[in-house]
Structure 1
Amino acid sequence: MSEVPSRVSGMVERRGTAAPETHSVVRTEEWDEGAGEEKRHERVAFVDLDLCETTLQAVEFQECTFRDVRFNCSAQTDVAYVNCTFVNCSFFDATFTRCKLVGSMFDRCTYDIMTVEDGDWSFVGLRGAALGTATFTGVRMREADLTGARCQGATFRGVDLSGASLQRADFTRADLRGTDLSALDPATTEMRHAIITADQAVVVAMALGLDVRPG
């Protein structure tokens, strides 16, 4: 790995805090020469890396930055991206199974037909993300920032969105069955034709200020 300046320019910020500094850089050449075999990476900048169709399992990335990285068609299982930053990355048809992305931030990324099953995505930053073709199932996304996220037609089944920021998010036609909607404000979140259960309908009605009583 080669040395890089301690601060990579153009970083997104997480809840008012600048992204962690990185101390080294890895590109496709370094990855293929051995960096890809390491099981733990801390404060590394991965730049213009091609991880298309790659299989990753039980790898930990701590406070790393991924810039212009292609995760297309990758299969990731039990991988941890803790407090990481993703800038202009592509996740076309990528699959995440039981992965941990706590505190990670996404900026100008694409997520076409991305699939996420189980795992912990709490405190992630997905402001304005286009998630309309993405599928999240059984994922913990407590206090995630989905402000302005475009989730028309997306699938969020059995997702824990408690405490999430959902202002101006659009869940039109989304499948939200079994998802915690306690943080949702129908006055600021679009939900036309979304699919929910009867129990969830009661939660939404109460959020609208309705007095729900038994018949």
Structure 2
Amino acid sequence: MADRARGAPTDVTVSGEDWSGRDVSGQAHTRVAFVDVDMSEVHDEGAVFTECTFRGVRFNASVHANAAFLNCTFSGCDFFDARLTECKLVGSTFARCTFDALRVAGGNWSFVALPSADLRRASFSGVRLREADLTGARLQGATLRDADLSGATLRGAQLARCDLRGSDLSAVEPEHVALRGAIVTYEQALAIAAALGLDIRAE
């Protein structure tokens, strides 16, 4: 994981620039390193970033729709109040980022690495998170609804008071995650009980 966090080799570096409020819709960037760039309030409809590295980038209040960040690396970035709708982040890695008030609706986040991420004030709805690495992620009180978590790594994740309704919890090992107070449906509760080895009977 440490190797992934460094990011892929890049061909171009954009450093210290102010992109706040820009419309980057439709742009395409490949193997670019964005360092200490202010992307606050950026509007992004359909931009594609491939194998890019973002270090110390501010995405505060930015809005992204149908955009793609493919196999990108985010290090020390701020996503305060950012909105991502139907975006694709397949294979991307996050390290030491902040996600306060982040809202994610739909999209494909399969194979994303978010180990130990503090997602307590984030909301994910209808997101595909297949085989995502959420090892040790902090999701207390977060929203993670109707998410596809099949094959995800959740060992050590903190899911207390997390709203998990409608999500695929087949990858959850109850003995290795904190679930106290998590919000689930009856069907999910039965699945968790079965995973704990309980013998569930009608009477």
- Which TM class, normalised by the smaller chain length? over 0.9
Residue 64 (structure 1) aligned to one of 49, 52, 56: 52
Per-residue deviation, 1:37 = 6.7
Letter of the 2:111 counterpart: F
Structure 1 window deviating more from structure 2 (64-73 vs 37-46): it is: 37-46
Task: Identify the match of residue 179 of structure 1 among 163, 167, 181.
Answer: 167
Q: How many residues align?
A: 202
Q: TM-score, normalised by structure 2?
A: 0.93
Quick one: percent identity of the two aligned structures?
A: 52
Q: Which residue of 2 aligns with 1:45?
A: 33
Q: Deviations over 1:152-185 (max 9, x none)?
A: 0000010000100000000111100000000001
Quote the residue 1:127 is aligned against. Answer: 115
CA distance in 2, matches of 1:204, 1:28: 48
Structure 2 partner of 1:99: 87
181, 190, 198: which one pairs with 2:186?
A: 198
Within 1, Cα distance between the matches of 2:23 and 2:184? 45
Q: 1:167 aligns with which of 155, 158, 165?
A: 155
Residues 1:30 and 1:37: Cα distance change in structure 2 (over 3 Å): farther
Gaps of 5+ in 2: none
Structure 1 consecutive aligned stretches of length 4 or more whose deviation exceeds 6 Å? none
Q: Secondary structure at the match of 1:66?
A: strand
Between the aligned partners of 1:97 and 1:123, the Cα distance in structure 2 is 18
**Residue 206 of structure 1: how far off its partner (Å):** 1.3
Q: Give the corresponding residue for 2:3.
A: 13
The aligned counterpart of 1:156 is 144
C-alpha RMSD over aligned residues: 2.1
Matched position secondary structure for 1:126: coil
Partners of 1:27 and 1:48 within 8 A in 2: yes
Paired amino acid for 1:13: D
**Cα deviation, residue 193, structure 1:** 0.4
SS in 2 for 1:187: helix
Given that 2:54 and 2:74 are in contact with CA atoms closer than 8 Å, whether structure 1 keeps it comes out as yes
Structure 1 window deviating more from structure 2 (201-210 vs 166-175): it is 201-210
CA contact 1:12–1:85 (8 Å) conserved in 2: no
- Return closer, same or farther for 1:135/1:35 CA change in 2, 3 Å cut-off: closer
Question: Which residue in 1 is equivalent to 2:97?
Answer: 109
Query: Cα offset for 1:188?
Result: 0.6
TM-score after normalising by structure 1:
0.88
